[in-house]
Every structure is written in structure tokens, then in C-alpha cells.
Chain A
Amino acid sequence: MSTQVDIVLDRPQQPSEHQILNMGPQHPSTHGVLRIILELDGEIIVKATPVVGYLHRAMEKIAESMTFHQFLPYTDRLDYLAPLANNVALTTAQEKLIGVEIPPRARAIRVLAVELSRISAHLLGLGAFAMDLGAMTVFLWTFRERETIYNLIEHLTGARFTTSYTRVGGVANDLPEGFIPELRAFLDEFPARVDDYERMLTSNRIWVERTKDVGVITKEDAISYGLTGPNLRASGVEWDLRQKRPYLGYEDYDFDVPVGSVGDCYDRYLCRIEELRQSHGILLQVLDKLPDGPVLTPRTHVSLPAKSETLRGMEELIYQFILITEGQDAPPGECYFAAENPKGELGFYFRSKGGGYPDRMFIRAPSFVNLQILERILPGGFISDVVAILGSIDFVMGECDR
């Protein structure tokens, strides 16, 4: 990538006198370390070249020298706005590879975790979008709700940010005491909060003018560039893995998939707002239907035995030792599992030659794929539109560069 960029920069001055503006990797609205090289004619963009990779940590290579469980904390640092959803996507993929069924309660708790983090991620996306367009207050309002969500997540997993909550075969621990009332209290007031954001933005004339017909992604473009998530749906494609390829029992929950019509920044904004409401609905249903039972499958080769039994029983000690040193034994073969994450389709591909380590792992990061569209939709707009489009695409560089 870098060689190509150097060519752009070293090109001799063209007679058209376009100015090159380097936006990022240190820029307030590139949300991390995205860099866009803009070729400008006045304030109008002629050409835009996104440059990624400033946060590359070789996660996929690292995964090859780790047991399945050891890789889990790395997913906290993928889309760091929704670590729980990443945890769930990873372990569900690993379970598919190893061939594990998880108990119904664990599935419900996972859905709960995913939807909670979807709300949190969309809130940040919405807030950052608004802040980029100058509406600072909405940003801080969304942080008020995110604070509550982080408290809930801390209560659930013991960590606010780096959750590492799931295990192959279930989740680390059951819902703690007092968690459900706490969550219900949050859910009770949440719709009113969303109304508040909408009152600030949805029919605000300036907001509408800044976002309507800006950064239009047509249906065909959205599909051919491989967009997923709210960005794809805002362009009018009804595609949500939770409905199309249900996992974790999503087919049991009743929810709508909001779809846009134009594919501009405003549609993407509306889609996210509606998804907030739908996730809220799913969370209520999860709480209503929450089944009883264990949260970790009791299979000895998959999940760790309880600590107390390990200390007393011979067999448990052996399994504990095997699982810690060798990891779960995956049969030879390959598998791909994709989950509908807040940013889009987060996919994990595993190839196994048997044993506790994957032979190859690949992460399909939605942010990385979604950013491809920039080159197509930025030209023709103003510098101010860049921040609107970046805000509405809602990407995370931790996931893009992985």
C-alpha cells in the first residue's frame, strides 16, 4: 500500500493545480488512525485515497500460535466499541469448528451481550457523527447512556472494556445477582433518551441539509463493494445475518430490520437510530424468555471443570491440565462463521489440521471492507462532507487494521 501512496505524493505538479491535503492519521475526525489523501480543487474533492494499516497488529498471524481460548482477549481489541459482540462472534466460530452445542441459557445471555454492545456501539457512532458535524451535545448525551451500559457490562463481566466474557461452550459466568433489575431500569428509560437524540437531530434543518444526499451509496455499489451492516441496509438492501442466517437463536426473537431508500448519510443515521430501538426490543424479549440452566456446556474436552472439583478430583485435574496446555482439540477441516456485529458482518475463518491451534485464521472485518467505498463516494463532495461521510460510515480502525 505504501508504495502506491508515495507515487501519489511524488507525482509532479499537475497543470490543473490540485492541492493535496493529507487528512490523518492524526486528525480529529478520522476516528483513530485512518489517513485519507485528498486531492482538492478549492474545497471540492477530486480524488480521495484512503490509507489504512497504522494500527496493524498482525492478529491473524498471532492466532496461529495460540489456543482458541488464548486468542479471545485479542477480539476485545478488534471493534473496541463492541468487545462483547466480538467475543461472541469468535467463540461461536470456534464452536462451529470444534463442534460444540451450547446450553440455551448461554445462547440467550450471548444475545443479550451482543445487543447491549450493539446499542453501545451505535450510540458512539451516532454521537461521533453528530460531533463531527458540530453537534457536540448529542455526543455527550450518548456518553451518558454508554456510561450506564459500561456499568452494566462491568457488572456482568468484571471489566468495562476488555470483557473476554465468552468461553468455548458458553459464557464465563451466569448473570450476576441484581443484574436483571439494573438492566431493566436502563431499558425503561432508554426509548425516551433515543427520542431526545431524535429531537436534536432528525428534523433539525441544518442536520438534514448536512446529511441528505451527501455520500450517496447506490444499492449496486453497496453490494459490489461488499458493504455490510447498517451501511448496506441504508442503501436499500435488506440483509441482516440475524434474520438471513440466524444464529444463537435469533429466529426466536421478533425484530424488524430497518432499511433505507437513498443510501445517503441521513438514511444511515436513521437506520442506526431504528436499530437502537430494535435492539432495545430484543433485549426486553431476552429478559422475558430467559431460560434456566447451565451457562457452560459440561463437555469435558471443551470447557474447564469447576475449580473446586479440579482441586479434589483426579479426572477433573487431568482435563484442566489438558485444556490449559493444549487447548480444545479441533478436528481437521475449515469453517467460516459470520455474525451481524454493530459495524457489519464480522467473520472468522478457521482452518485446522487438528490440535489446539488453528493452522490459519482470517478475520473479515466489516470496517475494513466498508472503508473501500470512500474512494468512490468522496470525490465531488466538499471537505465538510468528508467528515459527514466518515461519521456516517461509522468505522473502527482497531477492527479495520487488526
Chain B
Amino acid sequence: MIWDVLGKLLHAFLVVGLVLPLMAALMVWAERRVSAFMQDRLGPNRVGPAGLLQPIADVLKFIFKEDVIPGHVNRVMYVLAPLMVFVPALIVFSVVPYARGMAIAPLNIGILLVFAVSSLGVYGITIGGWASNSKYSLYGGVRASAQMISYELALSLSVIPIFLVTGSMNLESVVAWQAQNVWLLLPLFPAFIIFLVSSYAETNRLPFDCPEAETELVAGYHTEYSSMKFAIFFMAEYINMITFSALVVTLFFGGYTLPFLELPAGLWGTVLSGCIFAAKVSFFLFLFLWVRWTLPRFRYDQLMDLGWKVMLPACLVLIVCTAGVRAFIWPG
């Protein structure tokens, strides 16, 4: 019993405390390298092989920077805000089955937990923007709350067809369903597009990075943050990217499985499934970078229009259609 709990804790610590931050660090490196190659530059290539240790140097720099708390801020909120963004980002990953039989918390309400927790992150951003007591931060915070609430809606609704089709909210069973039948991407392609676009908005990545919008709001909600507090905001963004890529893969691309590939039993099967999952996630992480370095930024009102007038109705139509198909044509 006690070993069981300890084992689970260790598992959680390893994945959430070690692997995710490392992945985030790797993503920072990838972002800089990939953008550099897209832009005919080299990017960081001095620290370690191919600049791989650059994120570590960055973290060290952040740690040694003076931790400035401006005099005009609300201290408690100001300090709490980065954590309120960072912690939900870490928690969300716990329900994702990242290899066969491997998820920190294989809950049967998995996807609900994702939405419940990930929507907490917006509080951190809004409070950070408000507590900074600076106009640019405030605008960033207000934009963030409006944007994330709008897109949360589309995001959650786009997942409903999946429940209708697979009959489960447990991510593990969604994967199992896809392994048996077909990747959900094919029957639910519109849902996939909506989910993908909304996840860009959820993670505040271009073309939806209005809350940061460095050329408009200087740095948006984290204008007044420095040192590790800024770094935590920064890490949270990358961890969110990883989580949402993992969710896309799990929900629409068969998770850790491959079609026509029988995973061998035992440890090697688990490792192989983990590798498959990692490869798929990497592709979507690359997509995040690719989009960011290609597209310009939406204007705030255009982004709201897209959310409310296009994505939301599309979601509703899709849900009705899926339900209809499920009820009359293909009941099961």
C-alpha cells in the first residue's frame, strides 16, 4: 500500500518534476534553433553540442538575475501569479497516457480534468496583469482572460464528438478505441482543426498571442516580471504547448499506438509506445513553432470574432451532426 503510493509519487515527480521541465527547456532550444533556420540564421550553437545546453545557461542566468519586485505592485498577488500559471500547466499532463499503461493519473474523467485545471491558468495571467499595476500588463491580462474564456469554450465543445464516438472520457480508452477502429482524425477532422486552433489560443502562441503582443503591449501581462518569475511564466507556456500537443496526439492521432503495428508485450512494448508518442508529439510541437514563425498576429477583436462567430457555431453543428450519426445511422 505505502509502496504503491510512494511509487505513484515517484512516477509523478519524475514525469512532472523532471521530464516536463526538461522537455520545456528542450523546446526553448528547439524554438530558437528552428526559428533561426527558418530565418537564415544559426541560432544558439555555442553552449554544448549544437547549443543544446543553451537553455541551462538561460536558466542559470535567470536564477542569478536580481529578483525585482516593483514598488507599485500588489505583492502577494504578484508573487503568486506565476505559480498559478505554472502549477496547472504541470497538473494537466498527469492524465495523458504517454505510453502503454503509463499515465500518472488514469482517471475516468480525464479530459474533464484537463479543462477544469487548464482553465485555472488564466487566473494566473489575469492576476499577474492586474497585480503588476501597469497599464500594459493590465491590457494583457484583460485580453488573456477574454481570449482564453472564449477559446476554452470551443476547445471543450470540440472534444464532445469524441465522447459521442468513443463513449468514454478516459483518455486511455479513447486511445484504445482508436487502436481498434480508426484514428479519430478521419471521422472528426473538423473537430481536430477546431481543437488545434483553440489550443494555439489557449497556449497564447502566435497567431493568438494578443496577451503578450510584444510589439503592442511591450510584453503584456509579464511586462513587470523579471528573473525567475518571468522564467516561470515562460516555462509554463512551453509546458502548455507540450501538454496540448500530447492531447492532440491522444485525442485524434491514436496516442501511443500506430495502425497495423502490434506492440510487443512487456517492457519493450511500453518503451516503443513511449517513443511513438514522443515522435507524434514532436511533430505537433514543431507545428507550433512553424506556425509561430510564419504567421502574423490577429487583432484582438478579430480573434474574438473567430472564436465566437466561427469556431463556436462550427462546434455546435459538429456536435449535432455527430450525435445524429450516432443515434440513427451508426448506433453502437
Contact = CB atoms under 8 A, between A and B. Distances in A.
Interface of A: 19, 21, 27-29, 43, 130-137, 140-141, 144, 200-201, 204, 206-207, 209-210, 382-387
Given A28-B215, A209-B302, A130 B296 contact: yes
A140 B41 contact: yes
Given A140-B39, A141-B40, A385 B299 contact: yes
Among B41, B210, B298, find the residue whose CB has the most chain A CB atoms closer than 10 A: B298
B207 A206 contact: yes
8 contacts: A29-B216, A133-B215, A135-B296, A137-B294, A206-B296, A384-B210, A384-B297, A384-B300
A28 B136 CA distance: 12
Contact of B215 (A21, A134, A204, A209): A134
Nearest to A38: B135
Given A21-B135, A209-B302, A383 B217 contact: yes
Given A141-B39, A384-B213, A28 B218 contact: yes
B192 to A, nearest CB: 20
A137 B298 contact: no
A307 to B, nearest CB: 42
Given A28-B215, A29-B215, A135 B301 contact: no
Given A134-B215, A136-B39, A200-B294, 17 more contacts: A21-B135, A28-B214, A28-B218, A29-B216, A133-B296, A133-B297, A134-B213, A137-B38, A137-B293, A137-B294, A140-B39, A210-B296, A210-B299, A382-B300, A384-B213, A384-B299, A387-B216
Contacts of A382: 299-301
A19 B301 contact: no
B206 interface: yes
B202 interface: no
A231 to B, nearest CB: 20
Nearest to A20: B135
Contacts of B267: none
Contacts of B298: 206, 209-210
Contacts of B297: 133-134, 206, 210, 384
B35 interface: yes
A142 B215 CA distance: 18
B39 A43 contact: no
Contacts of B299: 209-210, 382, 384-385
Dominant SS at the A interface?
helix
A209 B295 CA distance: 12
Contact of B209 (A19, A134, A385): A134
B286 interface: no
Among A27, A132, A383, A386, find the residue whose CB has the most chain B CB atoms closer than 10 A: A383
A141 B41 CA distance: 10
Dominant SS at the B interface?
loop
Nearest to A386: B216
B216 A384 contact: yes
Contacts of B300: 43, 382-384
B205 to A, nearest CB: 11
B237 to A, nearest CB: 16
B296 A204 contact: yes
A200 B136 CA distance: 29
B214 to A, nearest CB: 6
B139 interface: yes
B218 A27 contact: yes
Contact of B207 (A134, A140, A201): A134
A242 B136 CA distance: 43
Contacts of A21: 135-136
A132 B214 CA distance: 8
Nearest to A211: B296
Contacts of B135: 19, 21
B129 to A, nearest CB: 14
A-B pairs, 9 with minimum CB distance: A134-B297, A140-B39, A135-B296, A29-B215, A133-B296, A384-B299, A134-B296, A132-B215, A137-B293
A135 B297 CA distance: 7
A206 to B, nearest CB: 5
Contacts of A43: 139, 300
A134 to B, nearest CB: 3
A130 B210 CA distance: 16
Contacts of B206: 134
A201 B297 CA distance: 12
Contacts of A132: 215
Nearest to A140: B39
A382 B303 CA distance: 13
Interface in B196-242: 206-207, 209-210, 213-218
A378 B67 CA distance: 38
Interface in B291-314: 293-302
B310 to A, nearest CB: 12
B39 to A, nearest CB: 4
A399 B215 CA distance: 22
Contacts of B215: 28-29, 131-134, 387
A137 B39 contact: yes
Contact of A135 (B136, B295, B302): B295
A209 B298 CA distance: 8
Nearest to A26: B218
